[in-house]
């Protein structure tokens, strides 16, 4: 199936899978939203000038945490999920992938979860695992991770654990949706693509998998949020009392 200009096949999946491609991607003041390429720039950390810093600050305020590293981790995991979900779904549903070059994706950092992304142009790419890895891992998560490590000191192992968790979550939801509708071919493609992606060196050591279940080897630090706990795929079975550094990877 060829990609359509509005990526309409993603709409029934909702939530993290929908990728807007029409209309003017404008912010609250009707100015164009910044691209993710601009967001990943490391030149400034001013909260009023850099969307990533703004996002981390906003997430920290919403979660009532005064630990920037915690807010940075959770912000990154949310954005990773928003990138993996439409990418994997397009590859499984269409057999093609839209070019998600950071210069083509605009991001509203002020939006609530899931992160609001706009794709300004639909350019078809092959829907194979290598292209998915180039597009999401290398095109987005590597530069995003470098910026967060530089700015907030978040451990690389934690960030790649977040990336693996986000991919596993997207794959699990896509598999559930496809099998509930008798779309076994979509579920099978998603499973094969996910298997290949988890064989990638950047994801291979992030956790263990059994079917669509995933247990990560690091912790996203959500337990350090007031009222927070451990996630379903966390390396911990209960919130630890000691420093989280050992789980950061």
Q: Mind listing the pLDDT tens digit of every residue in the chain (249 residues)?
A: 789 999 999 999 988 999 999 754 555 544 678 899 988 876 555 554 588 999 999 999 999 999 999 999 999 999 999 999 999 999 999 999 999 999 999 998 888 878 889 999 999 999 999 999 999 999 999 999 999 999 999 999 999 999 999 999 999 999 999 999 999 999 999 999 999 999 999 999 999 999 999 999 999 999 999 999 999 999 998 888 755 454 555
Domain residues for the domain of 169 are: 8-247
Domain count, the chain: 1
Residue 237 in domain: yes
Residue 2 in domain: no
Long-range contacts of 109-114 (CB under 8 A, 24+ apart): 109/39, 109/51, 109/52, 109/54, 109/55, 109/58, 110/27, 110/28, 110/54, 110/58, 113/78, 114/15, 114/16, 114/78, 114/81, 114/82
DSSP state letter for 16: G
Residue 1 in domain: no
Residue 55 in domain: yes
Residue 80 in domain: yes
**pTM confidence score:** 0.91
């Amino acid at each position: 199936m060829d990609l359509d200009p509005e990526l309409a096949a993603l709409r029934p999946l909702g939530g993290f899978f929908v990728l807007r491609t029409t209309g003017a991607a404008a912010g609250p003041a009707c100015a164009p939203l910044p691209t993710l390429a601009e967001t990943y720039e490391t030149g400034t950390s001013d909260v009023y000038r850099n969307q990533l810093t703004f996002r981390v600050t906003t997430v920290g305020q919403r979660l009532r945490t005064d630990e920037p590293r915690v807010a940075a981790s959770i912000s990154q995991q949310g954005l990773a999920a928003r990138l993996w979900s439409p990418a994997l779904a397009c590859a499984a549903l269409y057999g093609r992938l839209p070019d998600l070059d950071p210069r083509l994706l605009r991001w509203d950092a002020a939006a609530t979860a899931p992160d609001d992304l706009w794709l300004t142009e639909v350019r078809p790419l092959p829907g194979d695992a290598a292209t998915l890895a180039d597009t999401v891992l290398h095109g987005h998560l590597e530069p995003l991770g470098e910026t967060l490590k530089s700015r907030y000191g978040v451990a690389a192992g934690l960030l790649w654990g977040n990336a693996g968790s986000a991919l596993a979550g997207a794959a699990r939801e896509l598999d559930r949706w496809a099998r509930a509708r008798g779309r076994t071919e979509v579920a099978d493609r998603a499973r094969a693509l996910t298997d290949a992606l988890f064989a990638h060196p950047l994801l291979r050591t992030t956790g263990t998998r059994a079917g669509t279940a995933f247990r990560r080897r690091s912790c996203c630090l959500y337990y350090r949020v007031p009222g927070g706990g451990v996630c379903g795929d966390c390396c911990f079975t209960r919130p630890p009392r000691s420093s989280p550094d050992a789980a950061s990877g």
